Amino acid sequence: MINRLQDVLHDMPAKTRNVIMEDFTQLASSKKDTKSIIKFFRDINAQYGEHRAHLGRLKEPLMEGLATISPELAKDFNMTNKLFQKYYNISGKLKPNIATRILDASTVPKIMYGTFTGNYPLIVEAVGEVAARKFASEMLTNPRLQDISRKMVSALNKGQFAVADRIKDEYIRLLKDDYPEITAEMQKESFKEFIDN
């Protein structure tokens, strides 16, 4: 992995290589465990911006290294990143005070938050890895779910909690046959009850 990363770095313009070199040096001198690989992956993301085209090439050897150490962790990490990329424009529009209240709440609002913002770790925490993987694949490929997520964020930002509950009910109707473990949890609480408490 380190050799492949060095080859990629060697082919980069010096300006791009310099923005990530200190982080790469830390990885190269580390134990090269899952923690250090994930940290370097996040260091790359922190520098993406104008260097995206070149820095993105470092991710493939990192994912292969992670998969060698822990195939299951690599799958989950990959799913987390894909969902983040797909749902960033949606979740990034949710007002911070609403997101904080949801994340500080009980399990049910967190599940709802995870499902409409693409927060994979929250979905895993709520329903387990098998159900979460299946559902995450649906979230990545079903434009209807992404449209519902946009509507949900808009309703929550406007304080329209009754509307958010109707959107949640639409979400449940759409998913209940294929994802009963997720929708059963979502039916236990409404946004209106949550916000009123």
Would you give the DSSP letter of residue 30? S
Residue whose pair of structure tokens reads 């949710």 in the numeric block: 94
Instruction: Give the domain ranges of the chain.
Output: 2-69, 75-196
pLDDT in tens, the chain (197 residues): 999 999 999 999 999 999 999 999 999 999 999 999 999 988 888 887 778 888 889 999 999 999 999 998 898 888 888 888 888 888 888 888 888 877 776 666 677 888 888 888 888 887 788 888 888 888 999 899 899 999 999 998 998 888 988 998 998 999 889 888 888 878 877 777 665 55
Q: What is the CA radius of gyration of the chain?
A: 19
